[in-house]
Amino acid sequence: MPPDVLHFRPLLSPLVQFSPSLTTHQPCVHNYWQGMKGMSLTKKKLIPILVLILSTISILRLLSLNVKTSPFSTGISVLSPSPQHSCSPSLFTCNKIASHAPGSSEKPRKPPNNTTTLTEKEFKVLSDLIALKSPCNLLIFGIQPQYLILSSMNAAGSTIFLDDGPDKINNVINSNNTQIYKLEYNMPAKAAFKLLKHARQNPAACVPNPRFLQKSKCKLAMKNLPSQVYEKNWDVMVVDGPSGDSPDSPGRMGSIYTASVLARAGNISDVVVHDVDRMIEKWFSREFLCDENLLYSKGKLWHFRISGYSNSTRFCPAEVGSTIGQ
């Protein structure tokens, strides 16, 4: 049965006039005309849908061709985005990433060596100690601007710097109470374990007696220091040099050992070691300055207090340092 359609009056009169004899067939003709009209309306609705579908297919084909022919559609481009897209809004971060990008002519910059830089809290430990002890005899292995402040605080006392960096030494002016001496260290950091083993196997040569330090047969003894370093009783000693930041660079084994021997020449001596988060500084501090003498720790700073001279042949009780490095 054909669908029901609404009856309406045509806007124009029909061109063909039917005779009365045919009027009995008008309902059939009228129904046929209405069915054809409904069919034409349905086609009009389908045309826009077909046009939309064809347009969508055409756009997708164009996009597919564009992706295949684009130079940035390869797997390398997807996995390795350009530097400007991979960096953060920070200019420093962008430059850092760009310098490591493939094909970049600029070599990555080596970060500055900040192993000897004290934090604010670490420096306060030292400044409070100098404020308490000044005027005093102050010996510092290593030199940097922060330690020059300590020298100024100890203006009424005597301060000696020992360093192996000519650039740093040339920028500091000697004064009546402050002297700077250049050293040649011959103990690479990679030899630390052998030197520690030597000290344990030769206790007679590596005794904690400052009187024999200049002529000591111990491989850890620093015998090339200025004469006044051996002659004075040091109230405070700071070990923050040499750098010891790589296996081939000079290590602080001799500095810690020598400071521990000199500390036993007076009544009371304070020894401060920096960078104890590193293995060498930790090993040698515990071996020759002893856990029992550890007074205070802050950050990467250990503060030892050595009380008086001892005729003992050992730096520490046997049970304290016997297991270090083994």
CATH of the domain at 314: 3.40.50
In a domain, 135, yes or no: yes
Does 52 share its domain with 158? Answer: no
In a domain, 227, yes or no: yes
- Residue listed under structure tokens 């040099």: 241
Question: Is residue 245 within 8 Å of residue 264, measured between CB atoms?
Answer: no
- Those residues whose C-beta lies under 8 Å from the C-beta of residue 259, and which sit 6 or more positions away, are 139, 141, 237, 239, 271, 289
pLDDT at 229: 96
Task: Say how many domains are in the chain.
Answer: 2
Does 225 share its domain with 313? Answer: yes
Asked, as a colleague might, if the bond just before 242 is cis with ω within 30 of 0, I would say yes
Question: Is residue 282 within 8 Å of residue 253, measured between CB atoms?
Answer: no
Does 156 share its domain with 288? Answer: yes
Sheet order of strands, 178-182 included: 178-182, 158-163, 137-141, 236-239, 268-274, 301-307, 294-298
Residue-wise pLDDT tens for the chain (326 aa)?
444 444 444 444 444 444 444 444 455 445 544 555 555 556 667 777 877 888 888 777 766 665 444 444 333 333 333 333 333 333 333 333 233 333 434 444 443 444 458 999 999 999 999 999 999 999 999 998 899 999 999 999 999 999 988 766 666 666 678 999 999 888 999 999 999 999 999 999 999 988 889 999 999 999 999 999 999 999 999 999 999 999 999 999 999 999 999 999 888 999 999 999 999 999 999 999 999 999 999 999 999 999 876 567 789 876 544 445 44
Does 137 share its domain with 37? Answer: no
pLDDT at 249: 94
Global pTM? 0.63
In a domain, 95, yes or no: no
Question: Is residue 270 within 8 Å of residue 179, measured between CB atoms?
Answer: no
* The pair of three-digit structure tokens given for residue 5, joined into one six-digit string: 């359609």
Does 63 share its domain with 198? Answer: no
C-alpha count within 13 angstroms, C-beta hemisphere, residue 55:
6
Does 296 share its domain with 166? Answer: yes
In a domain, 294, yes or no: yes
Range of the domain at 44: 1-70
Which of 255, 249, 253 is CA-nearest to residue 139?
Answer: 255
In a domain, 106, yes or no: no
